[in-house]
Amino acid sequence: MAYFMGIDIGSVTTKAAIIRDGELIVSHVMPSGANYRIAAQRVLEEILAKAGLSLSDITYTIATGYGASSVDFAGERVTDISCCARGVHHLFPSVRTVIDIGGQASKVIRVNEEGRATNFVVSERCAAGSGRFLQIIARVLQVDMKDIGPLSLKSKNPITYTTGCAVFGESEAISRVAEGTPKEDIVAGVHNAIAAKVSNLTDRVGLEEDCALTGGGALDVGLVKRVEEKLRVHLLVPPEPQTTAAFGAALLAEERAPTLA
Amino acid sequence: MYFAGVDIGSTMTKVVILDEVVLASVIGPTGAEHRRLANKVMEEALERANISFDELSYIVATGYGRINVPFADKQITEITCHAKGVATLFPTVRIAIDIGGQDAKGIKISNGKVIDFVMNDKCAAGTGRFLEVIADTLGLKLEEMGELSLKSKTKVKISSTCTVFAEQEVVSRIAEGVQIEDILAGLHDAIASRVYRMAEKLKIEPDVVLTGGVAKNVGVVKAMEQYVGFPILVPEEPLLTGAIGAAILGKELTLKALESGKPIERGARRLEEATFFK
C-alpha cells in the first residue's frame, strides 16, 4: 500500500495531506508559529497519528510553501504555485484561474488543461491584500474569525476605506466603531477592499473561467461573496480550501516518486 | 498687524502668530476625528503672544484638517504653506521633504515657489505612523528612538515594506536576540529608503530640508543623508513650517489687499472646535 504526503508550510498556517491512489486519506492544519522546522516536525507527527501511519509507510513526500526548506524529511521541494494548481486541477479539472487568499499573501494562478500553472502573480508586500487585514479588523471589533463571514453577509452598507493600507484601515475601523457604524458594515468593507486588491491581480494575468478560490480566505463566506461580486464570476471552493497546495504536493509526490527497484 | 497660521495635521495641531517675527507658537494634539481642538491651541497661542483674538488681521488654516475651521479666514493647501514656510527659513531650499504622522510629501521649490510635488498618504510605510507602530511594539518612546539607533554598529536589514509585516519582522529579530539599536537603525533605513524613492522623482538637489515630526528623529535624518549623499537641513522646530508658511501667506494677502485698496475678505470667525464632518 503506497502512501504519498504533501507538506505546505505557510507564513501563518502549516498544512499536510496524505493520499493513496490519488485520493485524499487525511489532512491536517495547524499554526506555523515562529519556527518552521518545529512546525514541520509537529505537523508530521500529528498527521501520522491521525492517519495511524508511520513515516516508513510514506513512499515519498514533497514540501511546499514559504517554509518548504525547513522540511528535512521531504524528497523534494516544489513551488506552492505548482502545488496549488495541481491540487485544484484534481478537484476541479475545468478550472483555468485559481485565486488563493492566504494569511499574508494573495495569488492568482492561470492553469492549463493539464493542471500546470502557465502564469501567476503574487501580492505579498502589503497586508491589505491578505487575510491579515481581516485579522486586524476582527481584533478591533472583537469578533471571532469564524464569525466574520456570516456577519459580513448581513451588511447592507459596507463602509469604504479611504486608503489601501491595513494600518490606516485599523484606525478607520476604530473611529467607525466610535461613531456607531454596525460591525457588519465595517467587516464587509474589508472584504470589498481585499476583493479590490484581488481584482488588481486578476487584471494583470487575466481571468478565464472556471475560477476557484483557495487558501484560508475561502473559508470566509463573506469574502467569497464579495470577490464573486467584484470579479463577476462564480467561484468554486474546495471542501478543504486551506489544504489545496498540500494536497497538490501529495499528488505530485505520487507522480514523481522515484521507482523502487 | 498680527497674523496666524493654523496647521491641523492628522496627529498634531500647530499654531503660529507673527508680525515681523514669530511672537508665539504652540503645538498641541489634534484631538479625535469629530472634535478637533485647534481652538484650544489657538487660545494658548494668543495668550502667549499676549494679544486678543480680534487683533489678528488674518488667519490661514492648512493641513489635513483645514476644512471647517470656524475661525479661519482662508484655507490654503499644506503643500503651498510648507513650501512658503521652508523657503522663508531656508531661502536656498530646492527640495522640502515633510514626513508627518500619516503622510509624507516631497516638494520641489524654485525661488520660493512650488514647481512640483509628490505625496504618499495611502500607505503607512514611510510615514510617522510606521515609527509609532514600531515604538509601541518595542515599548519605546518615539523621542528616544533616534538617539538610540545611533549606537548601532551592525544595522539589521528590514525586508518588509508593509508596516504590519515589518512589525512582525521586528518581533522575530527581538526573539533572536538582536540588539534594539541595530533593529532601530534598520527601521530608520527602511523609512528613509521609502521616502527617498518617492522624493527621487523630483530629481533631488541641494539644499534639502526635512520637516515634520519625523525630522526630530536624528536616526532618520542620518539615514536620509546616506541616501541623498549630502547634509540635510532641519529647522529648529520641524513641526512648525506649515503654520509659519500659512501665517506668512496670510500676511502677504493682507498687505496686497491693503496696497490695492481692496477690502480683506474674512471668515465668520467663531473660535470653536473645528469639525471634520459638516
* Fold classified for B2-81+240-260: Nucleotidyltransferase; domain 5 (3.30.420)
Residues A123 and A208 in one domain: yes
pLDDT tier for residue B278 given thresholds of 50, 70 and 90:
very low
Q: Which of A126, A163, A167 sits opposite B121 (nearest CB)?
A: A163
3-class secondary structure, A186? helix
Q: Of B56, B47, B48, B27, which Cα lies nearest the Cα of B250?
A: B56
Domain tally, chain A: 2
Statement: residue B78 has pLDDT above 80:
yes
Q: Are B13 and B100 in contact (CB under 8 A)?
A: no
Identify all chain A residues contacting B162, using CB atoms and an 8 Å cutoff. 125-127, 166
- B277 interface with A at CB cutoff 8 Å: no
Q: Give CA angle at A246 (A244, A250), nearest 5°.
A: 115
Question: How far apart (Å, rounded) are the C-alpha atoms in residues A46 and B271?
Answer: 67
Residue A160, domain CATH: 3.30.420.40
Residues A197 and A228 in one domain: yes
- The length of chain B in residues reads 278
Residues A226 and A112 in one domain: yes
- A140 interface with B at CB cutoff 8 Å: no
Number of helices (H) and strands (E), helices first, in chain A?
8, 10
Q: B170 vs A132, A171, A221, B125, B139, CA distance in Å? A: 17, 21, 33, 14, 12
H or E segment at B108?
Answer: strand B104-110
Identify all chain A residues contacting B123, using CB atoms and an 8 Å cutoff. 126, 163-165, 168
Q: Which domain holds residue A158?
A: 93-237
Residues A42 and A170 in one domain: no
Identify all chain B residues contacting A132, using CB atoms and an 8 Å cutoff. 164
C-alpha cell at A174: 476604530
Inter-chain residue contact B122 with A126, CB threshold 8 Å: no
- A259 interface with B at CB cutoff 8 Å: no
- The length of chain A in residues reads 261
pLDDT at B34 (0 to 100): 59
Bridge partners, A16 (sequence order): A7, A28
Q: A63 vs A21, A80, A93, CA distance in Å? A: 19, 9, 23
Inter-chain residue contact B163 with A164, CB threshold 8 Å: no
Query: Which residue has cell 512582525?
Result: B168
Q: A77 vs A70, A114, A252, B59, CA distance in Å? A: 10, 20, 10, 66
- B35 interface with A at CB cutoff 8 Å: no
List pLDDT tens digits, range B155-205. Answer: 999 989 899 999 989 988 988 899 999 999 999 999 999 999 999 999 999
Identify all chain B residues contacting A67, using CB atoms and an 8 Å cutoff. none
pLDDT tier for residue B220 given thresholds of 50, 70 and 90:
very high
Instruction: Chunk chain A into consecutive blocks of 10 residues (it has 261) and report each block's average pLDDT, rounded to whole numbers.
Output: 92 94 94 90 95 93 93 93 96 96 93 95 90 92 92 94 91 88 94 93 93 95 95 96 96 85 41
Q: What is the CATH number of domain B91-228?
A: 3.30.420.40
Q: From the CB of residue B118, how many other CB atoms can be counted at a distance below 10 Å?
A: 16
Number of helices (H) and strands (E), helices first, in chain B?
8, 9
Question: How far apart (Å, rounded) are the C-alpha atoms in residues A101 and A29?
Answer: 16
3-class secondary structure, A110? strand
Q: CA of A213 to nearest chain B CA: how many angstroms apart?
A: 24
Domain with CATH 3.30.420.40 in chain B: 2-81+240-260, 91-228
Residues A198 and A128 in one domain: yes
- Average of per-residue pLDDT values in chain B: 92
Identify all chain B residues contacting A136, using CB atoms and an 8 Å cutoff. 164
Inter-chain residue contact B122 with A165, CB threshold 8 Å: yes
